[in-house]
A and B are shown apart, each in its own frame.
Chain A
Amino acid sequence: MSDTHHEDVQSHVKTYIKVFVALAVGTLVTVLASNIHLGIVLGIIVALVIATVKGSLVAGFFMHLSAERKIIYWVLVLTAVFVVVMMGLIMFTRQDQQGRQQGIFAVPQGHVPAHPAE
């Protein structure tokens, strides 16, 4: 963005201030929300949604990801895929272990796997 003109920078600065206000508000909202007893699942969802919105604002405007080059997007998409793969498959292991008690791969109740003859 070496060709950015003076006026562009001025408009950037305005955006940065707006983003700052949004981030500060988001921080206060997430703290207030944590004081309301929303229950475990809803509480987690609300907190993570607010964090994601705040994170996107930082990435999108402070880190200029809203208008970045194609290669950067490729790298980040690849990274995001692998993070999801890592977290997802590690969690899948847990689900699968629990799934033996319930779910599609469940071992039927009362069924004991046959042992080979001693």
Chain B
Amino acid sequence: MREAHHHEEHHDELPFWRHYIFSTDHKIIGIQYGLTALVFLFFGFCLMLLMRWQLAYPGKPLPIAFLTNLLGESRMPGGVMAPEFYNQLGAMHGTIMVFLGVVPLAVGAFGNYLVPLQVGAQDMAFPKLNMSSYWVYFIGGVVMLGSFFVSGGSAQSGWTSYPPLSVITPQSHSLFTGQSLWLTGMVFLITSSLLGSVNTITTIIQLRAKGLTWMRLPFFVWAQLVTGFLLLLAFPPLEAAGVMQLMDRMAGTSFFLPTGLVVGGKALNVSGGGSALLWQHLFWFLAHPEVYVLILPAMGIVAEVIANNTRKPLWGYKSLVYSVIFLGFMSFVVWAHHMFLTGMGTAINAFFQTTTMIISIPSIIILTALILSLWGGSIRFNVPMLFALAFLPMFGIGGLTGLPLGLASADIHLHDTYYVIGHFHYVVAPGTLFALFAGIYYWFPKVSGKQMNDFLGKLHFWGSLIFMNGIFMPMFIVGMAGVSRRLYDGGTSYLHAQNVLYLNKVMSHSAWGLAVIQCIFIVNFFWSLFAGRKVTSDNPWEATTLEWATPTPPPHGNFLKVPEVFRGPYEYSVPGAEKDFLPQNEPDKKPGDPNNRGKK
């Protein structure tokens, strides 16, 4: 299947910069998103590795002279991390991981690359818009990174940027302060997400191939569709809030500054009359759906990998679809469960507790359906499948530990402790990231034409699994002991934390171990790209969905002939069929043939 070559000849007319830099091809843009996001993920991870030194050995100079010199006296006086720098690392770790790492990887990279392929389209509906959304994201990332170098350093009020703290730290009307640049960067990132989601939704609705009815869409496409709507409708309120906070900082308004605010013993010279709670409302109106933006594409990837590697249809495809739609809808009405500690009042707490308990139901349905899909399958334990399988219990732990946080009475004890950190990292780190790794290993052969090394992949998997749990499991214990999540010294100066302080070292060493393990992935990624085993088939995993019906790697325009779809997405091991998979685009044989199953 090398017909692709004569197609590529057509594209040699395009100069390099049009082909690889300002490309309108969704696959190139997807790869651009993917590589940029991986770099940001690694950078955000490195910020955390630095923080973990201060947490494990508070007040001790960092023994890596090179790094201390690089960071300079203002950030690391005498090699010891300055508290302000610690706060910067914390705020930027969260921001970078969520907005510059995981979302661009899950939605920008996987969504961009796979959605048009899986719906059988030649490209996204608006290719130029697609290119601009990547470059707007890139600018947002540069602004965020640049904020480290302005005087006073980057934003340091946490990734949530709660006012009044964020408005008065540092107090300056200049745009070139960490927090103002953070807000500017966010406006770029939000704009990028909006453009991207308009594109994804339009592509899914308008460009589905002939015969690809709604209930024949791969689950991954459903997940991306719902994610698209979440980005589209949840992000703008934060954009509005970001503009207002920028006004508060730069124009001296008081959207989020209440009357009578005293800073450092002096009354703040502002008109007042604002509401600090308003920021939290608008922030979490985005940031809760954002959790599902992180998790839904991951669920989609896991569903694809599981169906493929159990060699049987997904259990309860329809209930998965309805659950993901319901989940998306409900994610808009649970946000204030992040705000139980603000004293909102009992009635509104009761409302948000109820919706929070309701939203756990579709999550559990999805997880259950994925677990039941394993039953009776002839499972292939390859690297993508290992990551996908590990996603299930890891996400399960993340989800279940979230239940006590959804109940105000338990949340009051646990909120702002390490317990919360443990909870959402289980969802996003060994949860979403494992699913994204599964996706990378699974689709790498299609994108590059090479197989990733299996042994290195397994090493990467087992090492990551052990160290991830080494980092995040102790957080539950530390959190339940009551240690607050934002302490510069990791709790050393607190009596109640003394019994769990040793866990700080366990977590830090696990984090550094995880860093070493990720190097295996980086080596594997580049080694396989250049010297990996070439795939011999366009469909090496013997999968059913449309992306495998393209040449490898897919040319501009994707399909050699416009695909038509004849069956559902997961026709594996159909009884009586010649082979154990029936691709969606394979026409029916003669009437009465068992291969016709799935055709309505």
Contacts and interface: CB of A to CB of B under 8 A. Distances in A.
Interface of A: 71, 78-79, 82, 85-86, 89-90, 92-93, 96-97, 99-100, 104-105
13 contacts: A78-B229, A79-B233, A85-B333, A90-B281, A92-B347, A93-B344, A96-B344, A96-B345, A97-B343, A97-B344, A105-B345, A105-B346, A105-B347
Contacts of B343: 97
Interface in B222-236: 229, 233
A105 B277 CA distance: 21
B281 A93 contact: yes
Interface in B264-304: 277-278, 281, 285
A78 B278 CA distance: 23
Contacts of A78: 229, 233
A104 to B, nearest CB: 8
Contacts of A79: 233
Given A71-B205, A82-B332, A85-B332, A93 B229 contact: no
Contact of B346 (A82, A86, A89, A96): A96
Given A71-B205, A90-B281, A99 B345 contact: yes
Given A71-B205, A92-B351, A93-B336, A86 B237 contact: yes
Q: How big is the B interface, by class?
A: 10 to 19
Given A78-B229, A86-B237, A89-B336, A96 B205 contact: no
Chain A CB within 10 A, most for which of B205, B233, B344, B347: B347
A110 B529 CA distance: 74
B339 to A, nearest CB: 9
B342 to A, nearest CB: 9
Interface in B337-373: 343-348, 351
Interface string B443-458: 0000000000000000
Contacts of A89: 281, 333, 336, 348, 351
Given A82-B332, A85-B333, A93 B348 contact: yes
Contacts of B348: 89, 92-93, 96
A11 B237 CA distance: 39
B356 to A, nearest CB: 13
B345 A100 contact: yes
Given A86-B237, A93-B345, A105-B345, 4 more contacts: A86-B285, A90-B281, A92-B351, A97-B343
Contacts of A105: 345-347
Nearest to B329: A78
Instruction: Give 10 closest A-B pairs by Cβ, nearest first.
Output: A96-B345, A96-B348, A96-B347, A105-B347, A90-B281, A93-B344, A97-B345, A82-B233, A82-B332, A93-B348
Nearest to A103: B347
B326 to A, nearest CB: 13
Contacts of B344: 93, 96-97
A104 B285 CA distance: 27
A93 B277 contact: yes
Chain A CB within 10 A, most for which of B205, B278, B281, B345: B345
A105 B348 CA distance: 10
Interface string B155-196: 000000000000000000000000000000000000000000
Contacts of A85: 332-333
Nearest to A105: B347
Contacts of B285: 86
B562 to A, nearest CB: 23
B330 to A, nearest CB: 11
Nearest to B339: A93
Contacts of A90: 278, 281
A71 B204 CA distance: 13
A100 B351 CA distance: 16
Nearest to B355: A89
A99 B346 CA distance: 10
Interface string B232-257: 01000100000000000000000000
A78 B330 CA distance: 12
Nearest to B335: A89
A54 B351 CA distance: 35
A52 B345 CA distance: 33
Nearest to B201: A75
A36 to B, nearest CB: 29
A92 B345 CA distance: 10
A70 B184 CA distance: 37
A82 to B, nearest CB: 5
A90 B240 CA distance: 15
A90 B281 CA distance: 7
Nearest to B349: A96
Interface in B506-549: none
Interface string B305-333: 00000000000000000000000000011
Interface in B203-234: 205, 229, 233
A82 B285 CA distance: 10
Contacts of B229: 78
A92 B351 CA distance: 10
Contacts of B347: 92, 96, 99, 104-105
